[in-house]
């Protein structure tokens, strides 16, 4: 099975009469960053939801680490090590950084038989994990509501890595971020992938795709219109895959 992390095999998804996905097949390796590109309505979000358990495919199959994989809920996907990281949505804003990092996984120690949260140990682990990823947050006791979008994203990504995540899905992760925060986010994606984690990132910004991705997969009208190593293609070629039109002005190819 070499180093394939996730293999998608002829995934189809219908919404009533709408065929959102018409047979999607591609794979992603460990430590690989795949940028998923395509026009509005191409099927990108639907595909990501199917991988992360938010929706079920109408037909088709997936292999994760060589075994049949089909998550019925996001919780099931998460337990397998697959998670969509949405900016903000999965953090409790009125809880501090440590509390969010350990949410549901708190370390307790017993004093005279009574369990107490081991706050010192949790704070240590959180600050080490964030520092090793190059994230600067002044205090681990800051409530998340006072942090920037980029810092929140960093907490979520590092939490995912720390708790054994294997494949992370990002749907337009930098849409609400500024230039500097986006640059840091892209660096962090590389850092995550360098630890052997697979990353699928949806972006409509071509430059980001070329900056961060090993491979670019283009979805058009529910099918894979291109699957190329980013070092072996060009933005113009990818635009052509997205639109189905050659830049020389020739008409749309038949599909
Ligand atoms: N829950 C849904 N019910 C009906 N149609 C849907 C639903 N979700 C997506 N679609 C349709 O499926 C197609 C693909 O949508 P989507 O995956 O959101 O595309 P993208 O993320 O590439 O913009 C579109 O035609 C969209 O209208
Ligand atoms: Mg979408």
**Residue 30 domain-assigned?**
yes
Which protein residues are within 6 Å of ligand 1, measured from CB?
15, 18, 20, 38, 40-46
Q: Looking at the CA of 22, name the nearest ligand.
A: 1
The answer as to whether 254 is a domain residue is: no
Residue to substitute in 16, 37, 38, 46 for testing ligand 1 pocket (most ligand atoms within 8 angstroms of CB): 46
Predicted confidence at residue 248, as pLDDT, reads 62
Domain assignment present for residue 156? The answer is no
Has residue 88 got a pLDDT over 80? no
Q: Which domain holds residue 206?
A: 4-81+165-243
Quote the pLDDT of residue 87. 60
- For residue 140, the CA-to-ligand 2 centroid distance in Å is 33
Task: Give this prediction's pTM.
Answer: 0.89
> Which DSSP string corresponds to 218-237?
EEETTEEEEEEEGGG--HHH
Q: What is the DSSP letter of 157?
A: H
Q: What is the CATH number of the domain that holds 73?
A: 3.40.50.300
pLDDT digits (tens, 9 = 90+) for 28-74: 999 999 999 999 999 999 999 999 999 999 999 999 999 999 999 99
134 domain-assigned: no
Mean per-residue pLDDT, 76-101: 86
Contact (CB, 8 A) for 208 and 35: yes
- The Cα-based distances of 6 to 12, 84, 155 in angstroms read 16, 15, 25
**Does residue 255 have a pLDDT over 50?**
no
**pLDDT value at residue 247:** 65
Task: Identify whether 50 is part of a domain.
Answer: yes
More confident residue, 87 or 154: 154
The predicted-structure confidence for 105-133, as pLDDT tens digits, reads as follows 778 788 888 878 888 899 999 999 999 88
How many domains, the chain? 1
- Is 120 inside any structural domain? no
For residue 42, the ligand 1 atom closest to its alpha carbon is: 22
Residue 232 is assigned to a structural domain of this protein: yes
Question: How is residue 102 written in tokens?
Answer: 């350990």
CA distances from 4 to 154, 158, 182, 197, 202 (A): 26, 23, 28, 11, 20
Domain annotation covers residue 97: no
């Amino acid at each position: 099975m070499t180093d394939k992390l996730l293999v998608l095999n002829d995934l189809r998804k219908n919404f009533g009469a709408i065929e959102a996905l018409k047979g999607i097949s591609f794979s992603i390796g460990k430590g690989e960053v795949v940028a998923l590109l395509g026009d509005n309505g191409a099927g990108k979000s639907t595909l990501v939801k199917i991988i992360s358990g938010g929706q079920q495919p109408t037909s088709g199959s997936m292999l994760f680490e060589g075994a049949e994989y089909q998550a019925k809920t996001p919780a099931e996907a998460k337990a397998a090590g697959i998670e969509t990281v949405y900016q903000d949505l999965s953090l409790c804003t009125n809880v501090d950084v440590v509390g969010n990092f350990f949410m549901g996984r708190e370390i307790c120690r017993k004093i005279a038989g009574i369990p107490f949260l081991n706050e010192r140990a949790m704070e240590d682990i959180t600050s080490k994990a964030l520092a090793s990823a190059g994230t600067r947050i002044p205090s681990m006791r800051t409530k998340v509501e006072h942090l920037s979008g980029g810092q929140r994203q960093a907490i979520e990504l590092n939490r995912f890595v720390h708790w054994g995540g294997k494949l992370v899905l990002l749907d337009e992760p930098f849409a609400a971020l500024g230039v500097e925060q986006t640059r840091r986010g892209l660096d962090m994606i590389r850092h995550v992938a360098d630890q052997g984690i697979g990353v699928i990132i949806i972006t409509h910004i071509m430059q980001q795709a070329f900056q961060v991705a090993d491979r670019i997969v283009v979805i058009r009208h529910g099918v894979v219109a291109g699957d190329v190593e980013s070092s072996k293609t060009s933005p113009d070629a990818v635009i052509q895959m997205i639109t189905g039109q050659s830049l020389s002005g020739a008409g749309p190819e038949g599909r």
